[in-house]
Chain A
Amino acid sequence: MKITLKDGSVKEYAEAKSVYEIALDISEGLARAACCGKVNDKVVDLREVIDYDCELSILTANDKEGLATIRHTTSHVMAEAVKKLFPDAKVTIGPSIDTGFYYDFDHAPFSREDLDAIEAEMKKIIKAGAKLEKFTLPREEAIKYMEEKGEPYKVELIRDLPKDAVISFYSQGDFVDLCAGPHLMSVKGIKAFKLTSSSGAYWRGKSENAMLQRIYGTAFNKKEELEEYLVYLDNIKNRDHNKLGREMELFTTVDVIGQGLPLLMPKGTKMIQTLQRWIEDEEEKRGYVRTKTPLMAKSDLYKISGHWDHYKEGMFVLGDEDKDKEVFALRPMTCPFQYYVYKASQKSYRDLPIRYGETSTLFRNEDSGEMHGLTRVRQFTISEGHLIVRPDQMVEEFKGCLALAKYCLDTLGVGEDVTYRLSKWDPNNKEKYVGSAEVWEETQQNIRDVLNELQIPFYEGEGEAAFYGPKVDIQAKNVYGKEDTMITIQWDAVLA
């Protein structure tokens, strides 16, 4: 077979060879540095045997996939150490992630002292330098194997694999883990690692499942790279609003009040008041009128709006439908309330546009496992608004909304930190949307023109629109690089 390497050179072999053997044939140094391979753009284990013509790259710690392999192997070493120190712990899953790796265990919470002990044990394991061996088992044997080891989560994982899946395991010394790989050839390949934190995590991310303990760690090819990363991590931890905001006494949370229900303290309240007054003034300068509508309504309203059928899980319902004459729910949105303000009197074409603004508090009953600081909350307040306009006014008004949002972001000094997305429909999935292709394309072009006129750089996201119209989403990243939508401006020619 013919193997074409990254540099274009070709190696020819008479018999099948593993990726590792090919690396060794090229040079011993490369074999030592090799973490995994890439065959025709597919990442493969070094143990993968090749008996066909292909393009092959040998990946090292300098490649993203190579570093991910080191981290993945480190997670296995961590699992081995945990099982050694805490034999009752049940292993579940342990992947590599962008910043390192984690492993979830069914066990009581781990302290920092526990993590230090686990680190020490891992160092011993790495020093002993066991080789990692890969083997496969037929489905029933694989299940039996993990049952005998007393690992119920692994059994569940195997049962959920597709019927024709190859069920592979990796062993290092006495420790064996169900895993698809790829992995290093030996644990000796781990040069620099650190366990960074631990926290609770639900099995399979669902709150009705068991609460597991997740240990996060990271690994690098060199000690200096690890040190540099730890300094960076420390820096962003100190910026994390959930830490700094509490230290500065801007907000706090209290167990008996509930998760996702932060208390704004005097300083934080003052800041939000400053923001609110400013926004309300800016809106009024631009012709907005203000409403103040109820925080709750009877189920009747939500039945009309469709929330009762489609979003009841996300609402806080007050009362029992079977017993009570009237059942109420805290509002998850403001739209229908402001629509009734509009409908309170007859409007003529001369009355439009009408721009309603409201500093609106909303309630959404999200999963308690998702709660975080001031960003994942069950009650929040937004600078809400609905503009009721004639079709011929739509483009101009949409432009006004975008200009206001941009002004707000620039004034806060965050204008450069956000990205604007034109969220479009998916023309290959027409049945998910209301309206004709012509109208969608025309509307999207209108929004594109407005963005260009305002000299706002933007990108386009296909399939990101609401079913009833395209929108502009303005997104920002938090210190950990996670993206959130800060502002949405939604075009709606359908729902009125």
Chain B
Amino acid sequence: MYYIDQNGDKVRPYIIHRTSMGCYERTLAWLIEKYEGKFPTWLCPEQVRVLPISEKYADYAKQVEATLKENGILATVDNRSEKIGFKIREARLNKLPYMLVVGQKEEEDKVVSVRSRFAGDEGQKSLDAFIDQICKEIRTKEIRKEVENVNEK
């Protein structure tokens, strides 16, 4: 290998062999162990799960999911006919960052009830406000800290 220098001579360049982050598989393994599977939101393969409190609100849940996806958020909806407590427990076991619980009140007011792995119950928010919040968290690659005793909240 060579390049032509100012004098028209052939000169051998130097090389840096490097990686930015190394091997992806190994990095994934490392992150699993570091975070015990509770990844920062921007890395989560499922960032938000929408949980309708009964089948009556399945359509609204679907709409919420679709709006989240349009905004680039990795969202799913749990439309099984299980009790809401069961769905919340399972989402928590799956180490999901956010759960959006939706029922009659949420559908009427066009809001969502936010529960997070970080702070537990975060209260009702307009869907737009929630999207702004999570998109900022994802864009800045924020590593949100968990508040103590989250599960009691």
Q: Which of B24-41 contact A (CB under 8 A)?
A: 24-37, 39-40
Chain B 67-91: CB-based contact to A (< 8 A → 1; otherwise 0): 0000000100000000000000000
> In the bound complex, how far is the Cα of B17 from the Cα of A382, in angstroms?
12
Supposing A373-B29, A412-B31, A414-B30 touch, asked if A380 and B45 sit within 8 A by C-beta, the answer is no
Measured CB to CB, the closest approach of chain B to A341, in angstroms, equals: 11
Supposing A413-B143, A487-B21 touch, asked if A389 and B14 sit within 8 A by C-beta, the answer is yes
Asked if A383 contacts B20 (CB within 8 A), the reply is yes
Asked if B25 contacts A486 (CB within 8 A), the reply is no
Partner-contacting stretch, out of A168-176, A300-308, A342-350, A422-430: A342-350
> In the bound complex, how far is the Cα of B39 from the Cα of A215, in angstroms?
34
Asked if B26 contacts A484 (CB within 8 A), the reply is yes
> In the bound complex, how far is the Cα of B20 from the Cα of A417, in angstroms?
17
Partner of A245, one of B32, B40, B141: B32
> In the bound complex, how far is the Cα of B2 from the Cα of A422, in angstroms?
28
B6 within 8 A of A: yes
B12 within 8 A of A: yes
Partner of A388, one of B4, B15, B94: B15
* Set of chain B residues within 8 Å of A493, measured between Cβ atoms: 14-15
Asked if A478 contacts B33 (CB within 8 A), the reply is yes
Supposing A374-B28, A397-B16, A490-B16 touch, asked if A351 and B3 sit within 8 A by C-beta, the answer is yes
Partner of A492, one of B14, B26, B143: B14
> In the bound complex, how far is the Cα of B141 from the Cα of A173, in angstroms?
64
> In the bound complex, how far is the Cα of B76 from the Cα of A463, in angstroms?
52
* Set of chain A residues within 8 Å of B11, measured between Cβ atoms: 349, 390
Asked if A349 contacts B14 (CB within 8 A), the reply is no
B19 within 8 A of A: yes
> In the bound complex, how far is the Cα of B143 from the Cα of A408, in angstroms?
14
Asked if A274 contacts B27 (CB within 8 A), the reply is no
Asked if A479 contacts B14 (CB within 8 A), the reply is no
* Set of chain B residues within 8 Å of A343, measured between Cβ atoms: 1
Partner-contacting stretch, out of A221-229, A264-272, A454-462: A264-272
Measured CB to CB, the closest approach of chain A to B135, in angstroms, equals: 15
B95 within 8 A of A: yes
* Set of chain B residues within 8 Å of A389, measured between Cβ atoms: 13-16
Asked if A487 contacts B19 (CB within 8 A), the reply is yes
Asked if B40 contacts A413 (CB within 8 A), the reply is yes
Partner-contacting stretch, out of A79-87, A105-113, A121-129, A398-406: A398-406
Asked if A275 contacts B19 (CB within 8 A), the reply is no
Q: Which of A160-189 contact B (CB under 8 A)?
A: none
Asked if A488 contacts B18 (CB within 8 A), the reply is yes
A63 within 8 A of B: no
Partner-contacting stretch, out of A37-45, A205-213, A276-284: A276-284
Q: Which of A367-408 contact B (CB under 8 A)?
A: 373-375, 377, 380-391, 393-394, 397-398, 401, 404-405, 408
* Set of chain B residues within 8 Å of A413, measured between Cβ atoms: 34-35, 40, 143
Partner of A383, one of B21, B35, B44: B21
> In the bound complex, how far is the Cα of B43 from the Cα of A373, in angstroms?
20
Partner of B24, one of A275, A342, A401, A476: A275
A90 within 8 A of B: no
B108 within 8 A of A: no
> In the bound complex, how far is the Cα of B14 from the Cα of A394, in angstroms?
7
Measured CB to CB, the closest approach of chain B to A73, in angstroms, equals: 33
> In the bound complex, how far is the Cα of B3 from the Cα of A336, in angstroms?
17
> In the bound complex, how far is the Cα of B22 from the Cα of A268, in angstroms?
17
> In the bound complex, how far is the Cα of B14 from the Cα of A103, in angstroms?
50
Asked if B16 contacts A279 (CB within 8 A), the reply is no
A117 within 8 A of B: no
Task: List the B residue with the shortest CB-CB distance to A487.
Answer: B22
* Set of chain A residues within 8 Å of B33, measured between Cβ atoms: 239-241, 244, 478-479
Asked if B1 contacts A339 (CB within 8 A), the reply is yes
B5 within 8 A of A: yes
> In the bound complex, how far is the Cα of B25 from the Cα of A264, in angstroms?
9
> In the bound complex, how far is the Cα of B43 from the Cα of A474, in angstroms?
22
Task: List the A residue with the shortest CB-CB distance to B1.
Answer: A496
Supposing A352-B3, A387-B18, A478-B33 touch, asked if A380 and B27 sit within 8 A by C-beta, the answer is no
A248 within 8 A of B: yes
A197 within 8 A of B: no
* Set of chain A residues within 8 Å of B141, measured between Cβ atoms: 278, 411
Q: Find the residue from B36, B43, B141 having the highest chain A CB count within 10 A.
A: B43
Question: CB within 8 Å of A: which residues of B?
Answer: 1-6, 11-37, 39-40, 42-46, 74, 94-95, 141, 143
User: Sorted from nearest, which 6 A-B pairs have the closest CB atoms?
Assistant: A267-B45, A270-B45, A241-B29, A241-B32, A490-B17, A374-B29
28 A-B contacts (beta carbon < 8 Å): A241-B29, A241-B32, A271-B39, A271-B44, A272-B28, A274-B43, A275-B24, A278-B141, A348-B5, A349-B3, A374-B26, A375-B26, A380-B23, A381-B25, A382-B23, A385-B20, A386-B17, A388-B14, A405-B19, A405-B20, A412-B27, A413-B34, A413-B40, A478-B30, A487-B22, A492-B17, A493-B14, A493-B15
Q: Given A248-B37, A382-B24, A490-B16, 19 other A-B contacts at CB below 8 A?
A: A244-B37, A248-B95, A268-B45, A271-B39, A271-B43, A347-B2, A373-B29, A383-B24, A388-B14, A390-B3, A393-B14, A394-B14, A405-B19, A405-B21, A417-B34, A478-B29, A479-B33, A488-B17, A493-B14
